Amino acid sequence: MLRIPEITLFSIVCTMCLIVVLLRDNPTSDIAPDDDVTYVEMSNMSRKHPVTLQKQSKTFQQLSQPCERNESAASISGFSKLPEHIRDFLFYRHCRHFPMLLDVPDKCGGPQGSADVFFLLVIKSTPTNFDRREVLRKTWAKERRHNGVWVRRVFISGTVGTHHEKRRMNRLLKLENEEHRDILQWDFRDTFFNLTLKQILFLEWMEKRCPNVRFLMNGDDDVFANTDNMVEYLQSLPGNDGSKHLYVGHLIHSLGPIRYQGSKYYVPKEIHEVNYYPPYCGGGGFLISGFTARIMYNMSHSITIMPIDDVYLGMCVEKAGLKPESHSGVRTFGMSIPSRKVDALSPCFYREILLVHRFLPYQIFVMWNDIHKPNLRCGTSVLNYDSKP
């Protein structure tokens, strides 16, 4: 029998131990290793990126080279004087495809079954907003049947932080998704200027996963949405089962880009030269038909990305020759309360509306329960309700 010298055997064992330690402590992966994650090395990138978290969704996520920044953007006149986030946007404005980290491929019952989903809630949420997502799952975004039709939800998100913090946030979303099956996440930085990218990626996902969904609410995770009222409003539309144009919300028109650098909404001429925006619905929350969502996606292929997402969707609709419409029940700039002497958060002001922006998580939880109390009493002079349980 072949005998291995003791010194050689000792060296082999030490080498194996060292490999195990290095693998265990390697912090390069952006999400925690898991058996259902497939990784691929991508050139010019310092980290491995997950292709998919679902075996059945491998066909959806295509392998591609990382999007390189467009160095020619630096030759734009006045580029060096622009704020850093504007310069960064211009460098990567052309990038539209990013690896998908979390998917829910069966959310709508597959492409063929998606027509059974009457109302899909599409909620923009950054990874850090765990408390908001938890409250929404228990209140207006709860998946349920209402008035005989299905209401489903997805949260759409990117990534935040770097290194350990990014890995922890991705781990949080992964744990949430394992429990609730309601998160779509892509590997791009979740910032205000990337909201348009988030919208485009969702519309691409919808085209593949939920192409026949009837209606959608698209909005932020800090709104109060009376989704019961929304379903009833959509069911009342004459001759529209989602197969015709619908784009309603808080209509904004006759506005143009803000050129003041101190504004969150600052858009310089280097991004949008003309002093005009088409009519659009405020991005806090609006309603669209499945037909219009598909139109938006198709038009987006030929429209350069704009950093203001609601303006960009308005551009898509305008290019298709369609228009947004106003709905008085959508208040993305808040409610106008008639008197300071009454409670501005009385449920009597909110039981008939569709959507209000903005609410804190605890306010959403209380308001949703209060408007559904059977003993809620409202009137022209009585602006309170019976608080007995």
Q: What's the pLDDT tens digit per position in 129-148?
A: 999 999 999 999 999 999 99
Residue-level pLDDT at 15 = 52
> What would the mean pLDDT of 73-80 be, rounded to a whole number?
94
pLDDT digits (tens, 9 = 90+) for 225-242: 999 999 999 999 999 999
* Burial track 97-127 (b if 16+ CB lie within 10 A, e otherwise): bbbbbbbbbebbbeeeebbebbbbbbbbbbb
- Residues 234 and 348 occupy one common structural domain: no
Indicate which CATH number applies to the domain containing 292: 3.90.550
Residue-level pLDDT at 338 = 74
Residue-level pLDDT at 380 = 56
Residue 68, judged by CB atoms within 10 A of its CB (0-12, 13-18, 19+), counts as: exposed
pLDDT digits (tens, 9 = 90+) for 358-386: 999 999 999 999 999 999 999 753 333 33
Six token digits for residue 185: 């996440």
Residue 331, judged by CB atoms within 10 A of its CB (0-12, 13-18, 19+), counts as: buried
Is 79 part of any domain? no
3-state secondary structure of 313: helix
**pLDDT for residue 357 is more than 70:** yes
**pLDDT for residue 200 is more than 90:** yes
- Residues 335 and 361 occupy one common structural domain: yes
Q: Give Cα 209 to chain centroid, integer Å.
A: 16
Q: State how far the Cα of 5 lies from the Cα of 3, in Å rounded to an integer.
A: 6
Residue-level pLDDT at 64 = 54
pTM: 0.82
Cis bond upstream, residue 137 (ω within 30): no
> What would the mean pLDDT of 4-9 be, rounded to a whole number?
49
Mean of all residue pLDDT scores within the chain: 86
Q: Which domain holds residue 235?
A: 100-260+274-326
Q: State how far the Cα of 13 lies from the Cα of 74, in Å rounded to an integer.
A: 54
- Residues 217 and 347 occupy one common structural domain: no
Residue-level pLDDT at 66 = 81
What percent of the chain has pLDDT above 70? 81
Is 201 part of any domain? yes
Six token digits for residue 211: 């192409």
Residue of 373, 254, 290 lying closest to 118 (CA atoms): 290
Alpha carbon distance, N-terminus to C-terminus of the chain:
83
Six token digits for residue 338: 């008639």
Q: Determine how β-strand 100-102 pairs with β-strand 38-40.
A: unpaired
Residue-level pLDDT at 153 = 98
Is 124 part of any domain? yes
Q: State how far the Cα of 116 lies from the Cα of 132, in Å rounded to an integer.
A: 27
Is 362 part of any domain? yes
- Residues 187 and 147 occupy one common structural domain: yes
- Residues 354 and 291 occupy one common structural domain: no
- Residues 232 and 357 occupy one common structural domain: no
Counting the structural domains of the chain, the total is 2
- Residues 105 and 201 occupy one common structural domain: yes
> What would the mean pLDDT of 203-217 be, rounded to a whole number?
98
**pLDDT for residue 10 is more than 70:** no
- Residues 239 and 337 occupy one common structural domain: no
- Can you tell me which residue has the tokens 């990305």? 305
- Can you tell me which residue has the tokens 């679902």? 54
Backbone phi and psi for residue 260, each to the nearest 5 degrees, phi listed first: -80, 120
**pLDDT for residue 167 is more than 70:** yes
Is 72 part of any domain? no
Residue-level pLDDT at 106 = 96
Instruction: State which H helix or E strand residue 136 sits in.
Output: helix 130-138
pLDDT digits (tens, 9 = 90+) for 252-311: 999 999 999 999 999 999 999 999 999 999 999 999 999 999 999 999 999 999 999 999
Six token digits for residue 1: 């029998």
Predicted confidence band at 339 (pLDDT cuts at 50, 70, 90)? confident
* Burial track 183-203 (b if 16+ CB lie within 10 A, e otherwise): bbbbbbbbbebbbbbbbbbbb
Q: State how far the Cα of 234 lies from the Cα of 251, in Å rounded to an integer.
A: 18
Is 279 part of any domain? yes
- Residues 343 and 252 occupy one common structural domain: no
- Residues 237 and 212 occupy one common structural domain: yes
The sign of the dihedral angle between the CA atoms of 273, 275, 281, 285 is positive
Backbone phi and psi for residue 61, each to the nearest 5 degrees, phi listed first: -90, 110
- Residues 226 and 254 occupy one common structural domain: yes
Is 147 part of any domain? yes
Cβ 205 vs Cβ 251: under 8 Å: no
- Residues 104 and 118 occupy one common structural domain: yes
